[in-house]
A = this chain, B = another copy of it.
Amino acid sequence: MRTTVKDVAKAVGLSTTTVSLVLNNKPNRIPKATREIVLKAAKDLNYRPNHIAVSMVTKKTHTIGLILPDISNLYFSELAKVIEEQFHKYGYNVLYGNTNGTLEHDFEYLNLFIDRSVDAVIMTVSSNYSEKEIKSLHEIAEMNNVPIMMVDRTLDDPRFMSVLLDQKLGGYLATNYLIHLGHRKIACITGPKSLRISIERLEGYKSALQDAGLPFDPALIVEGDFRVDSGVQALPYILGQNATAVFSLNDMMAIGVYRECRRYHLSIPQDLSIVGFDDIFIDEFLEPPLSTIAQPVVEIGEYAVKKMMTVLEGEEDPSCADTMVFKPALKVRGSASKFMEKKQM
């Protein structure tokens, strides 16, 4: 059996109170001599506090619930890693759940984690919640007094702490870059229309067109699902529209376009320019390396943890729910080039 505080107390002939006081380093309560006796006994007996029992009385578990759509997705696994490592520094551990992008799982894990008394929850919601669901989320947070932070995606509600990316700016940067390369017919492969990130990135696309005085042509927009396959499927349609460039709302779909271009014997960027979104590690190893919009994942994760820690340490009220927005950056590699008139002949 594991050594308990009682065992230590018995070993030194003192009360558990005294032992606990020493072990928790309570300020000037116990004289140095006693303290050292206790410390030595604890060490000799290899005492390690039972976290469960501590949680029982302190009401803190030093555990964070991390709810993500899919940990095997490169972006989320990177984010999860950063978040875990940062929390670890503060003595917190993370419990994680994969929702597979379904709303029921969002709530299921949230409740599960709250039953386990996590101190806080960080989540990337699977979709844009309805009024009812937002309300429900709030009630859960309030009733259990657990701070919830949205990362990467947020809800239409200002009451949640959020740390996000300026998705619209990302869409703008990508599109603007293609426009300045001379492209006029720029197709866009979106993610699911129900997702805010799809909408926001597309808004950036529209905004860039507008600023350049170019018309927005709905025929150039194809709805995808953020997976490789939808890039594959989108290409024939895009070619049919005589687009000379494509803005893919994520890199996975861009990879799909690459693949399909090879089947059509089209070369990138000579025959088709393409810009992705996310900057996953593989981009630079594609042929040609994929130009994309990079997200500062590490900064996002680090900020999220730091912010959450200020809340957990009571320095900040979670109800003063501000939103932090990080800026994406265009990463030029080799998948887009100047528009050449000859290509149209």
Contacts and interface: CB of A to CB of B under 8 A. Distances in A.
Interface of A: 2, 48-53, 55-56, 61, 63, 70-72, 74, 77-78, 80-81, 84-85, 88, 93-98, 111-117, 143-144, 228, 255-256, 258-259, 262, 282, 284-287
Contacts of A116: 51-52, 63, 93
Task: Please give the count of copies of this chain that the complex contains.
Answer: 2
Contacts of A72: 74, 77-78, 80-81
A111 B48 contact: yes
13 contacts: A2-B144, A51-B116, A52-B56, A53-B56, A63-B116, A72-B77, A74-B77, A85-B98, A93-B113, A94-B95, A94-B96, A255-B285, A258-B285
A71 B63 contact: no
Nearest to A280: B282
Give the secondary structure class of A's interface.
helix
A96 B115 contact: no
Contacts of A50: 115, 117
Nearest to A228: B285
A115 B50 CA distance: 6
A81 B93 contact: no
Given A72-B80, A287-B287, 14 more contacts: A2-B143, A49-B115, A50-B117, A51-B116, A52-B52, A52-B56, A63-B95, A71-B80, A71-B84, A77-B77, A94-B95, A94-B96, A228-B285, A255-B282
